[in-house]
Structure 1
Amino acid sequence: MTEENRLPSLGTLLPALRRRGFEVTVVAADDEAVPMPRPDDYQVLVVMGSHDSVYDDHLVWIARERDYLLGAVDAGIPVFGVCFGAQMLAHLFGGTVQRGELSEHGLTVIDTRDPDLVGAGPWLEFHHDAITAPASADVVATTAAGVQAFTVGPHMGVQFHPEASPAWLRAWSSSIPDMESYLASHGLDLASFTESVGGDTDISAAVECDVLFGRFLERAGIARPSRPMPGSAD
């Protein structure tokens, strides 16, 4: 599992993985001092969000993660991409990512073409970039801002944050020094933003995430771990 070093929590994805017997390795992809493990040592990779954008070519770690994921895809390891992770997945298969005409922040109901795979939500959105899906992708869900979920082979990308819950949002928001100024640049304030998302409960958020991730695993042909995976995360 890869995540940007500044994002502290895997939220409800962590119990979704552990409930199914997976051992979880968390890799800070933007920490160049930490070597990336062999992707074929793992049964599935989950790629989380980032403050940065896929098109930030001046950042060495983005190229590092891209090359790593190419190796995983070539090895046939299913990838589940969240927000930045979905954008990276689209980029790997020939799609594009650019600054979107619309940004999305807050709980959003999505237009899903396959509710048995990706439910309508509402899901937490927090992004200003937009995905143009690869030609080989099946676009599963959209909003006015663009692609929200897609699949390519066994891989799935979701623009929203299924790992989010009220508790996750509180921890995540407090860990980002420039959160208030970022929200202000989009006409929002931190207090009203967190309050608007706090109507959902931690339990229901965990259930929705668990269902979505379970459907991804089922579609990818992964019912349970076939071999132990090294490492753990708390």
Structure 2
Amino acid sequence: MSETTIALVTGANKGIGYEIAAGLGALGWSVGVGARSAEARDAAVAKLRAGGADAFAVPLDVTDDASVTAAAALFSARYGRLDVLVNNAGITGGMAQMPTTVDLDVIRAVVETNVLGVVRVTNAMLPLLHRSAAPRIVNMSSGVGSLTKQSRLTAETGPIGAAYPTSKTFLNAITVQYAKELAETPIRINAACPGYCATDLNGFRGTRTPAQGAAIAVHLATLPGDGPSGRFFDDDGEVPW
């Protein structure tokens, strides 16, 4: 069995996810490009391979049990393990999301992808991660998920949102719970804030590039065995929950 590090990045066909896959591929890792769209997924894999990365396609819809089970089976059959999981797939739910008027179906859809999707994929991949010598999980969060920052009502924390920001707060909270349960294992799990990156999620209004946003995920994916777990980081260090 190859000793090459094996990684899976969800939502890796574009934006920050693509750049995370590229960053891990540049380390010489074998990287699974998880995405729903076959056309976008295959195009991303082709581009990554053209750049020298060992990338392969992983059909994956994080909201679908059968799709996630099939993805886990793919890694099991091909490698027998998974070393790094980056839960990057996410949606904003669109605007507006004022809590007094928000459509509850919008909240449900956002949580289904941004939180339940992470749980679904993580739990399906955990048996494979437990077979790794240095398993790492990175959950892509956002600075708007920091309850400490959001509770400073005068702070610049983006527009009011009852779905997207709160889903990232939820994701941060569940990251901590995973870290507590897995504390006696080699698994290191942390949340990452990529900063305000220009992607289609925000109409490309961000002030950072997707490659810049991907850097923190690559860093957390390569933590040493005594590295932190159950924490929240951006490029400048630890972010308050």
Does TM, scored on the shorter chain, surpass 0.5?
A: no
Higher relative contact order (CA 8 A, sep 6+): 1
Which one has the bigger helix percentage?
Answer: 2
The bucket for the TM-score relative to the shorter chain is 0.3 to 0.5
Question: TM-score with structure 1 length normalisation?
Answer: 0.44
